[in-house]
Every structure is written in structure tokens, then in C-alpha cells.
Chains A and B, each alone.
Chain A
Amino acid sequence: DQQVKQNSPSLSVQEGRISILNCDYTNSMFDYFLWYKKYPAEGPTFLISISSIKDKNEDGRFTVFLNKSAKHLSLHIVPSQPGDSAVYFCAATTEGGNTPLVFGKGTRLSVIA
């Protein structure tokens, strides 16, 4: 039973364009969401997060949008750069509880120069 789903295994985008990575969740108890970036042979690196009290959080080129009613979030990267090529994982947890992060399967982003 996958509680966090990333339905696109891969995505290719031209350098300078916008990358949009999507994530859906099924557990309505989740109220805190994170995105991680992972390069080969390295551990995941925290990128950006959002609490369910917000619908948008921005950090430089990265913006996360949350649609609670649809149980959907997305990560926008603009402009995309070749160094953004990596696997991106969406993760969810409960803000006040002791729930470990639940991860999606990841989306491999390739930014083409």
C-alpha cells in the first residue's frame, strides 16, 4: 500500500525551462511534506518542505505547491539547470507526531543543455 506516489519515473526538461515534479498521497493524517534530491551513490539531500497550513513555499528556484483537497503536491524548478539532474523524492509525515518519513519511489529528472 503506497501512501506516497510519484507516478512519473522520469522527466526530461530543456535547460532554462520549468521542471514540474508531482506527488500524490493517500493518508489524510499527513500534514508535513518534504522534497529530497539524490545523486547516484550519495544519500538524499533535503531540498524544501511545506506544512499543510500553507499552500506554497518558495526557496530560490524551488517552489513547492500543496493542494490538500486533492492530496497533491508539486515541486517547480525554474529555471532548470543541468546540475538539477538527479532523482527527486517526495516524502510525507505528521507534524506533531512521531511518524517517520514515508517516501515515494522518486522521479529521475534530466535537464538537457
Chain B
Amino acid sequence: NAGVMQNPRHLVRRRGQEARLRCSPMKGHSHVYWYRQLPEEGLKFMVYLQKENIIDESGMPKERFSAEFPKEGPSILRIQQVVRGDSAAYFCASSPLNRLGGYTFGSGTRLTVV
């Protein structure tokens, strides 16, 4: 999955702390998507962003979760006051304007809340 960089790869947080997950899209890609994979589940869409704009956040929990994709720098998925149920693998994907070639995914961030 060269090209889409996610960091950190692993993140451990205590309940109540904040988690910040970063995603740098592939060069030339202007669309970023965040997905979450719970154990034994598929990938669930969370949010779709373009530079400085949230296009679709229909999959984002209403509380504690936010995302941004600033003009400069990576996209950030922020989870405030984490709970055990937030433990999951979070994948970022990017695509060019023409999305029909499919997304390119990063290797994911595995969040563990203890």
C-alpha cells in the first residue's frame, strides 16, 4: 500500500484520553476517506473529505469524533474521550478526482483503548 501513509500504526490510549490518527494521501489524490473495521466486521465508512471540506460524514458517530483535511498537511481523525468500544483498525483511503480506479488504502492505525 505504498503511497497512502497512516501514522501511527499502533496507538494505545486510556479511557477518556484523546486519539489523533493521521493520513497523508497519495500524491495527486484530492479525496480522503476514513473507514473503521471492528473485529470480525467489514469496513464501515465514516467520513469523506476533500481539501478543507467535509463532503459526507454520514458514518461518523455524532459525539466525540471529528475529521479534517486542511489545505496543508495530513488528514486527521480525532476521537475525544475514547472508550473501549472505539478499539478498532482505522483505515484511510485516497482517490483521484476520477474514483473509478478504486481507492488506495493505507496500512491502517490499530487503536487499543485500555
Q: Which residues of chain A have a CB within 8 Å of any CB of chain B?
A: 4, 6, 32, 34, 36, 41-46, 49, 51, 89, 93, 95, 98, 100-106
Smallest CB-CB A-B distances: 7 pairs:
A43-B105, A46-B102, A105-B42, A103-B43, A103-B42, A43-B1, A100-B45
B19 to chain A minimum Cβ distance, whole angstroms, is: 18
Alpha-carbon distance between A36 and B101 when the two chains are bound, in angstroms: 12
Hey, which chain B residues are within 8 Å of A41, CB to CB? Answer: 107-108
B100 interface neighbour in A36, A42, A95, Cβ under 8 Å: A95
Hey, which chain B residues are within 8 Å of A34, CB to CB? Answer: 102
Number of chain B residues whose Cβ lies closer than 8 Å to a Cβ of chain A: 27
Hey, which chain B residues are within 8 Å of A36, CB to CB? Answer: 102, 105
Alpha-carbon distance between A84 and B97 when the two chains are bound, in angstroms: 30
Q: Is B55 an interface residue (CB 8 A)?
A: yes
The answer to whether A44 and B100 touch across the interface, beta carbons within 8 angstroms, is: no
The answer to whether B105 and A100 touch across the interface, beta carbons within 8 angstroms, is: no
Q: Mark B95-106, 1 if CB is under 8 A from A, else 0.
A: 000011111111
